């Protein structure tokens, strides 16, 4: 019996591949047989991630996704050199803790370029015929911050909520091209970013934060598994959905 989660022979591009959820997603996809194209700005960290992958045929593509208007042509160039893509995952993202009284448009613009505008730019690139294979899949990363509110994260939450709406509309438009579009909304995940946060929190604050998660704080692999599912044939009849992966935080 064929395993619908098997990604053997598929080529998938992952942004934000040098750390956190993006890095673990690359590892997960390689274990399922995919060839992975790793994208991020830092060449050395990309190479370090690539060295941990299973199988062969993986490659690194350093690129700055804040150059939003160049993304579609970059994606087309990648496909021209390496072959058409079966999927794209946008794990790259930034978070800015910024109370309303400190808001400024430059920080917001920087955040929106990576978190939101790059999503649309990747979709635009993937829509080009020579870039995608039949039945390709685009997976975007939202957050529980796009579902519930968090003080000090107003613009971050706005960007992640927008991804949910973007996913629904893109799914309808790209269905005509045979492209599925879904997103994953993770809760708090034990990545480098969380480790940095722990350094400035008291033990009581950490305990209070953990209580919000009935199943505990997540691991990067928990989110990577959800992403792999949405890329695989196991989800062939799913598009326009948001898969909340949050240990019960929003239940």
C-alpha closest to that of 95 among 143, 164, 25? 143
Query: What contacts 228, CB < 8 A, 6 or more positions away?
Result: 5, 7, 25, 28, 29, 32
Tokens of 241: 């959905």
11-15 and 35-40 as β-strands: parallel, antiparallel, unpaired? Answer: parallel
For the chain, the straight-line distance linking the first and the last C-alpha, in angstroms and rounded, comes to: 35
- Catalytic residue list: 156
Distance CA(171)–CA(185), nearest Å, equals 16
Query: What contacts 62, CB < 8 A, 6 or more positions away?
Result: 39, 40, 41, 42, 43, 46
Distance CA(235)–CA(40), nearest Å, equals 27
């Amino acid at each position: 019996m064929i395993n619908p989660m098997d990604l053997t022979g598929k080529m998938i591009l992952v942004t934000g591949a040098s750390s956190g959820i993006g890095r673990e997603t690359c590892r997960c996809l390689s274990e399922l047989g995919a060839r992975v194209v790793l994208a991020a700005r830092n060449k050395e960290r990309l190479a370090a991630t690539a060295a941990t992958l299973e199988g062969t045929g993986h490659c690194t593509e350093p690129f700055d996704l804040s150059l939003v208007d160049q993304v579609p042509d970059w994606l087309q160039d990648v496909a021209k050199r390496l072959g058409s893509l079966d999927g794209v995952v946008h794990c790259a993202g930034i978070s800015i803790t910024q109370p309303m009284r400190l808001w400024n448009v430059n920080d917001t613009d920087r955040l929106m370029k990576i978190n939101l505008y790059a999503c649309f730019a990747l979709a635009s690139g993937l829509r080009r015929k020579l870039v995608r294979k039949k039945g390709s899949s685009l997976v975007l990363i939202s957050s529980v911050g796009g579902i519930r509110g968090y003080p000090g994260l107003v613009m971050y939450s706005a960007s992640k909520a927008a991804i949910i709406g973007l996913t629904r509309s893109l799914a309808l438009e790209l269905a005509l091209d045979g492209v599925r579009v879904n997103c994953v909304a993770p809760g708090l995940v034990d990545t480098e970013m969380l480790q940095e946060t722990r350094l400035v929190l008291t033990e009581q604050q950490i305990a209070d934060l953990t209580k919000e998660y009935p199943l505990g704080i997540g691991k990067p692999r928990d989110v990577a598994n959800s992403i792999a599912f949405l890329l695989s044939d196991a989800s062939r009849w799913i598009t326009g959905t948001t898969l909340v992966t949050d240990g019960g935080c929003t239940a």
